[in-house]
Chains A and B, each alone.
Chain A
Amino acid sequence: TQLLEQSPQFLSIQEGENLTVYCNSSSVFSSLQWYRQEPGEGPVLLVTVVTGGEVKKLKRLTFQFGDARKDSSLHITAAQTGDTGLYLCAGPPAPGNTPLVFGKGTRLSVIA
């Protein structure tokens, strides 16, 4: 079973601070997806990274896929209270038509 481990599990920061959360695996993934889930809602897809070493930016969020495609990181610049939520990484085990594997997530709280 391919596992995705996310760290830290919990993170509480002040508004305006920067932060990085991590998603690691001992196995290779063909791609990784990042989702954000707010209380009372389902996860919402933020981005998919596909190529080893790829960097994608979504406003203040920067996503990176490791060169070996075993890890990914999410960096948030100048966090805002609206960034509060559970950040999940997920990936399809490679190769084959198998369901996504999800990490347990990083719960981020941004305090004003």
Chain B
Amino acid sequence: KAGVTQTPRYLIKTRGQQVTLSCSPISGHRSVSWYQQTPGQGLQFLFEYFSETQRNKGNFPGRFSGRQFSNSRSEMNVSTLELGDSALYLCASSWGTGGDEQYFGPGTRLTVT
């Protein structure tokens, strides 16, 4: 069974631009969660989608948004990029919502200059 895939793996953007990251979950998983990982803050929860509905949202500004499609694939968008948005963005899929065991993708390394 194929794992979680994320594209692109690396991205360099400049301040003020926007970016869209993509995630394909494990086949059969209906829940997709997004996390931001930085050395200082660790793994921080962004949001979770289940059957195309946002179920949970972390404490991030409205510049961070996401969506999920009918095939469970998910995208997250960050608008008006700031230097502090530089991070590893991880997508994880699971069978159910909330605290289910997470299966992570390799992440997208975003650098904002």
- A interface, by DSSP: helix, strand, loop or mixed? loop
| B45–A45 CB distance below 8 A | no
For residue A10, give the distance in angstroms from its CB to the closest CB of chain B: 12
- Separation of A101 and B107 alpha carbons in the complex (Å): 18
Residues of B within 8 A of A (CB): 4, 33, 35, 41-45, 48, 55-56, 58, 90, 92, 97-107
- Separation of A68 and B102 alpha carbons in the complex (Å): 24
CB-contact partner of A42 in B58, B98, B101, B104, under 8 A: B104
Q: Find chain A residues with CB under 8 A from B90 CB.
A: 42-43
CB-contact partner of A45 in B42, B55, B102, B106, under 8 A: B102
Name 9 extra pairs, CB < 8 A, besides A41-B106, A101-B45: A35-B102, A43-B102, A45-B102, A90-B43, A99-B45, A99-B48, A100-B99, A100-B102, A102-B44
For residue B43, give the distance in angstroms from its CB to the closest CB of chain A: 4
| A92–B98 CB distance below 8 A | yes
CB-contact partner of B101 in A33, A96, A102, A103, under 8 A: A33
Given A45-B103, A92-B98, A102:B42 Cβ within 8 A: yes
